[in-house]
Structure 1
Amino acid sequence: MSEQQQYIIGVDAGGTYTDAVIMDAATGQVVASAKRPTTHYNLSEGICAVLGAVMTESQVPPQAVSVTSVSTTLATNALVEGKGAEVGLFIIGFNQRLEVPAVAARFIPGGHTIKGEEVEPLGVNFVLDALQELHGQVDAWAVCGSMAFMNPAHELVTAKAIQIAGKVPVFCSHEASMRAGMKERATTACLNAQLLPVMSDFLDGIERALKSLNITGTVYVVRGDARAMPMAEALRQAASTVASGPAATALFGSHQSQMQGADIQDALILDVGGTTTDITLIRSGKPVIDAAGMTIGKWETHVEAVEMFTVGVGGDSFVRPAKDGTFTLGPSRVLPLCMARNLPAPEKWLGHDLNARCILPAPALTQDDIASDDILRHLAEHGPATPEQLMRSLKLAEITVEQRLVKLARKQKVTETGFTPTDALHVLNLLHLGDAEAATAAAALLGAPRKQDAHAFAQSVLADAERIIEETVLRHVTRREVGGGLAAFLANRDRQSLITVDVSLNVPMIGIGAAARLLLPGVARRLRTTITFPERHEVGNALGAALMARPLLRDKGNNA
């Protein structure tokens, strides 16, 4: 390392906030940190804002930043919320049905033997027919050929045909997996294809933000297995970033255990974000890696990653009320009512089911966008509306409206807002980031069918969030220790009428995230364990990303 002082920037882009820290590379001392809203319609805007904040506070010159290290939960969120790209799959040389995360799959003759020898020629005409049939119906393609890890020729030819036919992104299984297992390889390819647009937008946003601030130097992305990869590789290995945020969580927790010596060598690290709560484990002060391949929801993959469990509950999880006064929480995320601008008063629209959320046009809509879509045109002319109002005004079926809103949200053309735990925290005067009056008015409306006032309803929402997080912790730990049969029983122990079971967690918990201090103490009490909130825990993932880069910079200096 040169004598000139060097700095590392750590960035974590989440579904709700983008965090950043700037660290002295030699000492590991954080000199500035910041948190800014994630701007989904233009990711570089939010990234630029948070980077600008830490650069201004620290007064570090841009040329002194040697490394920028980034983690993100955008990929995780896209899969949890079902908002990744719609993928078509070509299966080469394997004529059996596979349950994979694709909206369409087509069998193509071809494939290779275990020695890499061609079984039969590739059916290129089948590829061309399928491309014509599904033109405009898929956002990305995945390709998985029999024994492609021994000879990827048929995958490469198919990918080339897709690229010639149009500009739709394509991902081949051999790029991510060199192991046997057709279903797992196909799933891994599909997930990578799903995430290509998400990661492309994210990496473009990082690149534009750094360029605008004249920050040069190496850029790394945190892989799900807690290792670093160059930014260019992240686009081709998008599925490796699914656990990027949890990996940064584990790195932060590992650092805390090392700082505290023998006090905390094993711990559960809980990161409460806006969209999800991610749970990771450290053993003997180090992240636990699942070398067999991570499971994402119900999908088994060949992606190595930290051992993790993710549940779709966070600060911005959608509270979905029903007509009878009950409600469900998550996994979809909406903009909290207290954070929305130009929104009608809750009493003018908020209700149950299809009137539980309001749709706003995205800030960056163009005239072409508005002219090409009647939903966007209605929002531009008449202002925000609920799905039910859109159905009635445009005379559309419910399923049509919902499907179109999913696509518009995926393309960042609309923003959905509704009541969330973040609103509940504002009602209870525990958080002061937005409009508490709007949140309180909404809570009063939603609590009325339950004969609850605004405060009681807000407490019910937070209690449900704590319950879901607690059950997830129990399921994860129990499944890991003794198998799945007991996991469901223990997670639902309070609902048993004939037996009482007391459960204690034998490892401490470490909380990360802005909402962690507000949601996790109750979980720790019920699980009879301790929880700590280390310094800078609000930006823990950004700090974890920066910590990952320290040895890389040190090794680079030693090799110079």
Structure 2
Amino acid sequence: MSILLGIDTGGTYTDAVLFDLERGVLASAKALTTRHDLTVGIGEALQAVLSRAIPASGTRSASGAGTAYGAGAAQISLVSLSTTLATNAIVERQGSPICLFLLGYPPDSLSIGGLGQALGRDPVVFLKGGHTISGSEQAPLDLAEVDKAIRKHAPHVAAFAISGYFGVLNPAHELMVRRRVQELCGLPATCGHELSSHLHAPRRALTAALNARLIPYIRQLIQAVQQMLTQAGIQAPLMVVKGDGSLMDASLALERPVETILSGPAASVVGARYLSGEPEVMVVDMGGTTTDIALLQDGRPALCTEGATVGGWRTMVEAIDVHTTGLGGDSEVHFDAERGLLIGPRRVTPLCLLAQQHPQTLDWLAMQAERETGRAPTGQAPAGRAPTGQVPTGQVPTGQVPTGQVPTGQVPTGQVPTGQAFEGQFALRLRPLDKGVAALDSLQAELWELLADGPVPLSRLYPDRQGSYRRSRALAGLVERGLVALSGFTPSDASHVLGYQQHWSIEAARLGAEIWRRKAARALRREELTVEEFCQMVFDQVVFQLGEAVVMAALAQQGIPEADQQSWLQQLFLAGALGKESARTGWLEARLKLLRPLVAVGAPAATYFPPLAERLQTRLIVPEHAGVANAIGAVVGSVTQQARALVRPLGVAELPLRADEPFRLHLPDGVVDVIGLEAAIQRAEVEVRRAALELARRAGAGEIQVQVNRKDSIARGRDGKQVFLDSEIIAIAAGRPRLAEEPNGQNQGANAK
């Protein structure tokens, strides 16, 4: 029996699944994702799932590993990983600092496609070089200037992004610059031509920049998984899910981690297809940070060959056509002057989870709730009994201080912090500093030290109006770098109050709801609003925004431009379907019906989607194991790799073509000139077949099959004669991943090779 292990490290949860191709899911487990040290959450999920399906024998392997996980871990023949971390980082505008090299780009490139906005404060270096549309050198590459720029920026960045003008037609300059980066500083470098073969220089540069920011994040994740597998005594290939739902070996993912963008959403679609068995559905995956929507047609997920859109950025990564919105169970509840109550897109730590992990925050919440109302809200523990997560008077838990001693970041009883606007919100450290306190400015360093002993209320960090603006900007910088997390009221808190969830501190959820109820009463001018009514408002707003995202995705699938989706007619029907009073205008009442079933996966699926399906008048499918669909999708996929070449005439090539017609081959590693179309096509087919086969082998495929497709482009000239423009040659290599070898040296599984 071959057991496959699927792991998904998302923004909120880490899931693990043990899977057999014949029997299906053997066991599953969840653990909280620990962003500051991913090995903690991965280890907890891994140990939990192995202990449920493979009882520990108490014996130790020869290497000393695997005792805590059970000797049966040796039965695992494949491990596959999917992750939403890349998607979440883009949506939340987080990532490591990078430097972007633009080779031969015009000066106004930063104003096109949102490139300048996406880069923010990250440095951009314009260098001479690049190529023309024919693949010829536009200008020589000045290696001295390249070396100077690398030495200048390397000490301050985590990675480089490189994009050459017409680099997809000749990547020579991009490859030269990457070699210099590797030789001079050894930092990761992403080349734009590896991400897409399509023309659009600014978008390709944007994609390279976004992906370069993610390299340290993905590498940390892969290394964490490899470490945990070694400790568990698992000796099996490690695969990673790509954005198109296929798999690749972890060694290749470390070289090209950019392809893991949308890995988590892609795995959820593959998993939803497997679990539901439905060929024509809309798949909606709601996690803690984002909601991802994709369509299945004829049993296959729709692909976005022109580039996936994530967090408002249009990339050039070929991936599953996923519509991602910043709405999840842990999205921030806030108020807008015009639109009222809103959820997301920023993720914050739910107050109920914060108090579960840091019980001292209950004291702050109780103090702030009493400040708001003059009395503590109902639902607290009776006098003489400590609420959940606290201890009776006189008993001091580990890590806390005795009565009378006030830990850093807290205040003695009777002292009320200022800054009421920030009550019900906290900040806490998320991970250690990369380069020490010296990398922070003075105000950021001050805030960092204030957070040394655990979560601190924002009202404590912003003690007065005069300094709150500067401190909020400094704190925002720490959040953007992924060093600090914020905590506030979320749909998860509302669900705890309403009884839909009971995983974490209900006491903290009620205290937070009391604080935020008063904020809502002031913002919405509803002074009689109760805690339960406020939480129901939050729940209903989540359902509305989910429905809005589903309808937008359906309209996009029908080819309706995004600008037209906001027309008054579309808004009228949307409001009608989702229960808004504005759906009635005079003699009309609007209703919508989704003509495809909804397959809902993710931890909150059973909570929010039944009322949404009812309002959209469609069938809802919440399959068994929906909460771990991503981890399942990670192990049921296959390896697929592509290689492309473009064959173009060097001049005007009228049909019929001359036998001595010269052609230029734009290959994955450079350009080659060949005489005669058939000779050029044959050379291109050989090269792309070889490249795709090699990529598939490196990606971990066994029993590889290669298919080569050709597409000619022919136009008619002014004189009516036909002109040959180009021929695109695409090789697709596919196969199931190779499995680990059995003790006798034979590979497990019929697909191994």
Q: TM-score, with normalisation over the residues of structure 2?
A: 0.68
Report the RMSD for the aligned CA atoms in angstroms.
Answer: 3.0
Q: Which one of the candidate residues 244, 249, 252 is aligned to 1:233?
A: 252
In structure 1, how many angstroms separate the alpha carbons of the residues matched to 2:175 and 2:264?
31
Deviation sequence 1:148-174 (CA, Å, 0-9, x none): 233323223323444455464321112
Report if aligned partners of 2:272, 2:626 keep a CA contact under 8 Å in 1: no
Which AA in structure 1 matches 2:750? G
Q: Give secondary structure in 2 for the equivalent of 1:252.
A: helix
In structure 2, how many angstroms separate the alpha carbons of the residues matched to 1:23 and 1:460?
40
Q: Give secondary structure in 1 for the equivalent of 2:516.
A: helix
Name the counterpart of 1:279.
293
Instruction: Give how far 1:547 is off.
Output: 1.6
Instruction: Give how far 1:363 is off.
Output: 7.4
Q: What is the correspondence of 1:119-158 to structure 2 with a 5 Å cutoff?
A: 119-128=138-147, 130-131=149-150, 138-158=157-177
Q: Give secondary structure in 2 for the equivalent of 1:282.
A: strand
Name the counterpart of 1:42.
37
Deviation sequence 1:471-512 (CA, Å, 0-9, x none): 011011012214125532435542456353211000000111
Q: Give secondary structure in 2 for the equivalent of 1:374.
A: helix
Instruction: Give how far 1:233 is off.
Output: 2.1
Q: What is the correspondence of 1:79-158 to structure 2 with a 5 Å cutoff?
A: 79-98=90-109, 99-100=114-115, 101-103=118-120, 104-128=123-147, 130-131=149-150, 138-158=157-177
Q: Which blocks of at least 5 consecutive residues in structure 2 are unaligned?
A: 56-71, 370-418, 522-526, 576-581, 639-734, 740-747
Q: Which one of the candidate residues 616, 620, 629 is aligned to 1:527?
A: 616
Name the counterpart of 2:565.
487
Report if aligned partners of 2:276, 2:621 keep a CA contact under 8 Å in 1: no
In structure 1, how many angstroms separate the alpha carbons of the residues matched to 2:308 and 2:439?
43
> Are 1:462 and 2:539 counterparts?
yes
More helix by share: 1
Q: Which one of the candidate residues 444, 448, 459 is aligned to 1:376?
A: 448
Report if aligned partners of 1:66, 1:218 keep a CA contact under 8 Å in 2: yes
Report if aligned partners of 1:269, 1:509 keep a CA contact under 8 Å in 2: yes
Q: What is the correspondence of 1:515-554 to structure 2 with a 5 Å cutoff?
A: 515-548=604-637, 551-552=736-737
Report if aligned partners of 2:86, 2:218 keep a CA contact under 8 Å in 1: yes
In structure 1, how many angstroms separate the alpha carbons of the residues matched to 2:474 and 2:219?
23
Q: Which one of the candidate residues 595, 599, 602 is aligned to 1:506?
A: 595
Instruction: Identify if the C-alpha distance between structure 1 residues 505 and 128 changes in structure 2 by more than 3 Å, giving closer, same or farther.
Output: same
Instruction: Give how far 1:396 is off.
Output: 4.8
Q: Give secondary structure in 2 for the equivalent of 1:280.
A: strand
In structure 1, how many angstroms separate the alpha carbons of the residues matched to 2:434 and 2:185?
24
Which AA in structure 2 matches 1:20? A
Name the counterpart of 1:358.
426
Name the counterpart of 2:280.
266
Q: Give secondary structure in 1 for the equivalent of 2:289.
A: coil
In structure 1, how many angstroms separate the alpha carbons of the residues matched to 2:749 and 2:142?
48
Q: Give secondary structure in 2 for the equivalent of 1:97.
A: helix
Name the counterpart of 2:51.
56
> Are 1:293 and 2:307 counterparts?
yes
Q: Which one of the candidate residues 219, 233, 236 is aligned to 1:217?
A: 236
Report if aligned partners of 2:95, 2:481 keep a CA contact under 8 Å in 1: no
> Are 1:24 and 2:20 counterparts?
yes
Which AA in structure 2 matches 1:70? L
- Point out the more displaced range, 340-349 or 198-207: 340-349
Name the counterpart of 1:557.
750
Instruction: Identify if the C-alpha distance between structure 1 residues 240 and 31 changes in structure 2 by more than 3 Å, giving closer, same or farther.
Output: same
> Are 1:478 and 2:555 counterparts?
yes
In structure 1, how many angstroms separate the alpha carbons of the residues matched to 2:752 and 2:510?
59
Instruction: Give how far 1:466 is off.
Output: 0.9
Deviation sequence 1:280-334 (CA, Å, 0-9, x none): 1111222122223222233333211111111111110011247999443111111
Q: Which blocks of at least 5 consecutive residues in structure 1 are unaligned?
A: 259-263
Q: Give secondary structure in 1 for the equivalent of 2:426.
A: strand
- Point out the more displaced range, 369-378 or 428-437: 369-378
In structure 1, how many angstroms separate the alpha carbons of the residues matched to 2:130 and 2:553?
39
Instruction: Give how far 1:367 is off.
Output: 13
Report if aligned partners of 1:421, 1:461 keep a CA contact under 8 Å in 2: yes
Identity, in percent, stands at: 32
Q: Which one of the candidate residues 165, 170, 174 is aligned to 2:189?
A: 170
Q: Which one of the candidate residues 8, 27, 37 is aligned to 1:12?
A: 8
Report if aligned partners of 1:345, 1:438 keep a CA contact under 8 Å in 2: no
Which AA in structure 2 matches 1:519? Y
Q: Give secondary structure in 2 for the equivalent of 1:279.
A: strand
Instruction: Identify if the C-alpha distance between structure 1 residues 486 and 177 changes in structure 2 by more than 3 Å, giving closer, same or farther.
Output: closer
Instruction: Identify if the C-alpha distance between structure 1 residues 216 and 401 changes in structure 2 by more than 3 Å, giving closer, same or farther.
Output: farther
Instruction: Give how far 1:446 is off.
Output: 1.2
> Are 1:385 and 2:402 counterparts?
no
In structure 2, how many angstroms separate the alpha carbons of the residues matched to 1:38 and 1:439?
20
Deviation sequence 1:415-449 (CA, Å, 0-9, x none): 32111100001001110111101111111121124
Name the counterpart of 1:70.
81
Instruction: Identify if the C-alpha distance between structure 1 residues 349 and 379 changes in structure 2 by more than 3 Å, giving closer, same or farther.
Output: farther
State the structure with more CA Rg: 2
Instruction: Identify if the C-alpha distance between structure 1 residues 426 and 233 changes in structure 2 by more than 3 Å, giving closer, same or farther.
Output: same
Name the counterpart of 2:395.
none
Report if aligned partners of 1:472, 1:491 keep a CA contact under 8 Å in 2: no
In structure 1, how many angstroms separate the alpha carbons of the residues matched to 2:15 and 2:455?
29
Report if aligned partners of 1:370, 1:376 keep a CA contact under 8 Å in 2: no
Name the counterpart of 2:263.
244
In structure 1, how many angstroms separate the alpha carbons of the residues matched to 2:625 and 2:438?
43
Instruction: Identify if the C-alpha distance between structure 1 residues 121 and 31 changes in structure 2 by more than 3 Å, giving closer, same or farther.
Output: same
Report if aligned partners of 2:737, 2:751 keep a CA contact under 8 Å in 1: no
Instruction: Give how far 1:146 is off.
Output: 1.6
Q: Give secondary structure in 1 for the equivalent of 2:163.
A: strand
Q: Give secondary structure in 1 for the equivalent of 2:230.
A: helix
- Point out the more displaced range, 145-154 or 352-361: 352-361
> Are 1:416 and 2:486 counterparts?
yes
Instruction: Identify if the C-alpha distance between structure 1 residues 389 and 326 changes in structure 2 by more than 3 Å, giving closer, same or farther.
Output: farther
Instruction: Identify if the C-alpha distance between structure 1 residues 139 and 389 changes in structure 2 by more than 3 Å, giving closer, same or farther.
Output: farther
Name the counterpart of 1:447.
517
Instruction: Give how far 1:128 is off.
Output: 4.9
In structure 2, how many angstroms separate the alpha carbons of the residues matched to 1:186 and 1:524?
40
In structure 2, how many angstroms separate the alpha carbons of the residues matched to 1:76 and 1:47?
19
Q: Give secondary structure in 1 for the equivalent of 2:737.
A: helix
Instruction: Identify if the C-alpha distance between structure 1 residues 353 and 507 changes in structure 2 by more than 3 Å, giving closer, same or farther.
Output: farther
Q: TM-score, with normalisation over the residues of structure 1?
A: 0.90
In structure 2, how many angstroms separate the alpha carbons of the residues matched to 1:8 and 1:491?
46
In structure 1, how many angstroms separate the alpha carbons of the residues matched to 2:584 and 2:153?
53
In structure 2, how many angstroms separate the alpha carbons of the residues matched to 1:378 and 1:250?
43
